[in-house]
């Protein structure tokens, strides 16, 4: 361990301002939390493993910390929920430099503070290999209002927030050029993605989505999850898929379709539901329709449709799984 | 990955019988849970890392799965709480045999079923090195009744459940003899420890403990945590420390004092509180007194006392940290 466990815990404790909902945070066997009356609990956990989800030579430590928490916050956003507290299990190699640990915590705690999330517990261990982090996020949502993956029905429209493929385009460039060519601050959707918490809450409050998921694996994979859970299929309209701009040009369609780590929201809505063009300042684009026939089809500009397979990226290995 | 992620998730889903409190388990972005009215949430997370917390050549897969969940359940027990749901983040090396994954899940799910805990979510990833597991347990407790580490006061008595040092004695033997000489079923406190959930709940209901912790790092380390959080010291009475029997003899005092992984409960109680000799069939032994002076002292049979330092075991590396 690069610093005594006690010192690390003390540092986290100082940063973690206790909110009313966190009765007891770091420093006991378990955290104790009070959910607001009438609310249900949301719980999600996500690994961030060196060599799998990030590379230390590519990602600055505060980006790794930010992304670690963003993965969990994005899952709460996808339910339409409010994140309350995070729990970090962190295993560190013996020779990790102190500045790296500090930077990781800086990135994680800055994102937590932005969303009023308390780091309320976790575990610290020595790592057998590389930096290993697992984030658990506890959120809350009014009873029976969680937006599930299973509510999509044939005829519902498919929408996506923001634009897709930037994170994957950065990844492709990292693989080809190495990290020196990439401006970290120019590509926040890769290095510092913003989980769409406010958008998710606004959509839920306005009862817009019939089903929702966050885009962590990629559009084709995550839409397939909605289709599986809702027992439906989907038809996407190629020309409407909003492609992010990278190096002064829209990203390749394949990156927008299959690239992961965008952390935008994908949702469906009944055709009678009015869906605004923007929610909380984020553009919302209609990209297709839920159909009865299983599988995902892509309709091109010429009106021809072909079946596409889910091709989620296996992060940082540069090939589809 | 030794088996497709989807197949593994399907297997876990089949096993995880949904309880009323788990509104939505595996298969969405987050789990959705309903806490009983008037209850607060407890959350704890614990790593189980190959080479740090277990060794594949020493521990059968069902023991690793059992111990993984037991670590989390024991933390809920130490608050006096009722575990509800578990979340498993599991990273597996590419070449791990299928029987190992099956055995791991068998051990984890059997312990979960025994305590009516639902495996309600998690994450699955490829591991960069060895089997990496992180368990999150969500529990519930009546509001304001969680037993914290910070409630010990000078004059309170110190108690421990069961007997100490068996897990560490097994570990010592594994280091000296290798795994072939150890009968797994003969040493359940090491291979299949029973988290003291019922004992913790009974103690809390009877308002016995003023502070409580579970013995995962070892008596000297975990008592130091209570002392730190309560801003007190402690005096232990050597002759009263209940030593487990190993190979037909009580374990060495050092193992009972500093050996980890026993998962017994350590608690303090006001001197006016009646503490039964057994709770839920488990013996309770008075082992010392909380004192004002910081630090931990050990009083021997001759009436001489000496200061001892916390010496938690760094699991499976065979040296103190």
Q: Give the Cα separation of B88 and A43 in Å (integer).
A: 11
Q: Give the Cα separation of A23 and A3 in Å (integer).
A: 28
In chain B, which residues fall in CATH 3.90.650.10? 149-320
Q: Give the Cα separation of B153 and A24 in Å (integer).
A: 19
CATH number of A149-320: 3.90.650.10
More confident position, B175 or B168: B168
Q: So what's the pLDDT on residue A5?
A: 67
First-to-last alpha carbon distance for chain B, in angstroms, is 34
Q: Please report which confidence band the pLDDT of residue B81 belongs to, taking 50, 70 and 90 as the band edges.
A: very high
Mean pLDDT of chain B: 90
Helix (H) or strand (E) holding A102: helix A98-114
Note down pLDDT in tens along chain A; length 321 residues: 344 567 777 776 665 544 558 888 888 999 999 998 899 999 999 999 999 999 999 899 999 999 999 999 999 999 999 999 999 999 999 999 999 999 999 999 999 999 999 999 999 999 988 999 999 999 999 999 999 999 999 999 999 999 999 999 998 888 887 666 677 777 888 899 999 999 999 999 999 999 999 999 999 999 999 999 999 999 999 999 999 999 899 999 999 999 999 999 999 999 999 999 999 999 999 999 999 999 999 999 999 999 999 886 544 443 333
Q: So what's the pLDDT on residue B229?
A: 96
Check whether B297 has a pLDDT greater than 80. yes
Mutate to test the interface with B, among A30, A47, A93 (most CBs of B within 10 A): A30
β-sheet bridge partners, residue B314: B319
Longest dimension (CA), chain A: 63
Q: Which of B23, B120, B123 sits opposite A40 (nearest CB)?
A: B23
B74 to chain A: closest CA residue: A29
Render pLDDT for B87-126 as a digit per residue (tens, 0 to 9): 999 999 999 999 999 999 999 999 999 999 999 999 999 9
Contacts of A201 (CB under 8 A, 6+ apart): A77, A80, A81, A82
Least confident of A50-54, A182-186, B152-156, B177-181: B177-181
Check whether B179 has a pLDDT greater than 80. no
Check whether B10 has a pLDDT greater than 80. no
Closest Cα of chain A to B32: distance in Å? 5
Q: Give the Cα separation of A182 and A169 in Å (integer).
A: 11
Contacts of B74 (CB under 8 A, 6+ apart): A29, B193, B195, B196, B214, B216, B263
Q: Which of A24, A91, A213 sits opposite B148 (nearest CB)?
A: A24
Q: Which of A27, A146, A212 sits opposite B229 (nearest CB)?
A: A27
More confident position, A317 or B300: B300
Contacts of A124 (CB under 8 A, 6+ apart): A1, A5, A8, A9, A89, A90, A91, A92
Joined tokens for residue A227: 């289709």
Q: Do B45 and A139 touch (CB under 8 A)?
A: no
Q: Do A121 and B24 touch (CB under 8 A)?
A: no
Q: Please report which confidence band the pLDDT of residue B318 belongs to, taking 50, 70 and 90 as the band edges.
A: very low
Render pLDDT for B141-151 as a digit per residue (tens, 0 to 9): 999 999 999 99
A87 to chain B: closest CA residue: B45
Render pLDDT for B247-287 as a digit per residue (tens, 0 to 9): 899 999 999 999 999 999 999 999 999 999 999 999 999 99
Q: Are A106 and A65 in contact (CB under 8 A)?
A: yes
Q: Do A43 and B136 touch (CB under 8 A)?
A: yes
Q: Which of B24, B128, B137 sits opposite A129 (nearest CB)?
A: B128
Q: So what's the pLDDT on residue B180?
A: 63
Regarding the domain delimited by A5-142, which CATH topology (the fold level of the hierarchy) does it fall under? 60s Ribosomal Protein L30; Chain: A; (3.30.1330)
Q: Do A30 and B75 touch (CB under 8 A)?
A: yes
For range B43-57, the mean pLDDT:
94
Identify which of B26, B25, B194, B6 has the alpha carbon closest to the alpha carbon of residue B110.
B194
Check whether B320 has a pLDDT greater than 80. no
Q: Are A77 and A84 in contact (CB under 8 A)?
A: no
ipTM of this predicted structure: 0.90
Residues of A in contact with B78 (CB under 8 A): 29-30
Check whether B2 has a pLDDT greater than 70. no
Q: Which of B129, B139, B141 sits opposite A128 (nearest CB)?
A: B129
Render pLDDT for B215-244 as a digit per residue (tens, 0 to 9): 999 999 999 999 999 999 999 999 999 999
Closest Cα of chain A to B285: distance in Å? 21
Q: So what's the pLDDT on residue B316?
A: 41
Q: Are B177 and B267 in contact (CB under 8 A)?
A: no
Q: What are phi and psi of A286, to 5 degrees?
A: -80, 125
Q: What are phi and psi of A251, to 5 degrees?
A: -65, 160
Q: So what's the pLDDT on residue B242?
A: 98
In chain A, which residues fall in CATH 3.30.1330.10? 5-142
Q: Give the Cα separation of B260 and B52 in Å (integer).
A: 13
Q: Do B128 and A126 touch (CB under 8 A)?
A: no
CA angle in degrees (0–180, nearest 5) for A42-A212-A168? 100
Q: Give the Cα separation of A5 and B173 in Å (integer).
A: 28
A266 to chain B: closest CA residue: B29
Q: Do B125 and A44 touch (CB under 8 A)?
A: no
Q: Do B30 and A81 touch (CB under 8 A)?
A: yes
């Amino acid at each position: 361990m690069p610093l005594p466990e006690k010192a690390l815990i003390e540092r986290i404790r100082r940063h973690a301002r206790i909110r009313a909902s966190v009765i007891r945070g770091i420093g006991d066997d378990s955290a104790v939390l009070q959910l607001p009356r009438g609310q249900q609990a949301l719980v999600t956990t996500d690994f961030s493993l060196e060599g799998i989800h990030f590379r230390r030579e590519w990602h600055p430590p505060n980006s790794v910390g930010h992304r670690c928490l963003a993965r969990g916050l994005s899952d709460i956003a996808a339910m339409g929920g409010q994140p309350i507290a995070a729990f970090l299990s962190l295993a560190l190699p013996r020779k990790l430099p102190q500045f790296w640990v500090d930077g990781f915590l800086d990135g994680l705690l800055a994102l937590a503070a932005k969303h009023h999330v308390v780091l309320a517990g976790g575990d610290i261990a020595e790592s057998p290999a590389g930096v290993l982090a697992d984030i658990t996020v506890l959120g809350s949502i009014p009873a029976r209002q969680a937006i599930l993956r299973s509510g999509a029905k044939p005829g519902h429209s498919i929408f996506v927030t923001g634009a897709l493929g930037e994170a994957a385009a950065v990844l492709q460039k990292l693989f080809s050029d190495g990290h020196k060519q990439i401006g970290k601050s120019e590509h926040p959707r890769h290095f510092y993605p913003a989980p769409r918490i406010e958008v998710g809450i606004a959509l839920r409050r306005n009862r817009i989505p019939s089903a929702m998921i966050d885009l962590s694996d990629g559009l084709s994979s995550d839409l397939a999850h909605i289709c599986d859970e809702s027992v439906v299929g989907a038809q996407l309209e190629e020309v409407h898929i909003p492609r992010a701009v990278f190096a002064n040009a829209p990203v390749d369609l394949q990156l927008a379709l299959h690239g992961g780590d965008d952390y935008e929201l994908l949702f469906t809505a009944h055709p009678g539901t009015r869906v605004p063009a923007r929610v909380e300042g984020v553009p919302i684009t209609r990209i297709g329709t839920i159909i009865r026939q299983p599988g995902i089809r892509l309709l091109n500009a010429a009106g021809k449709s072909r079946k596409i397979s889910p091709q989620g990226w296996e992060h940082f290995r540069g090939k589809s799984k």
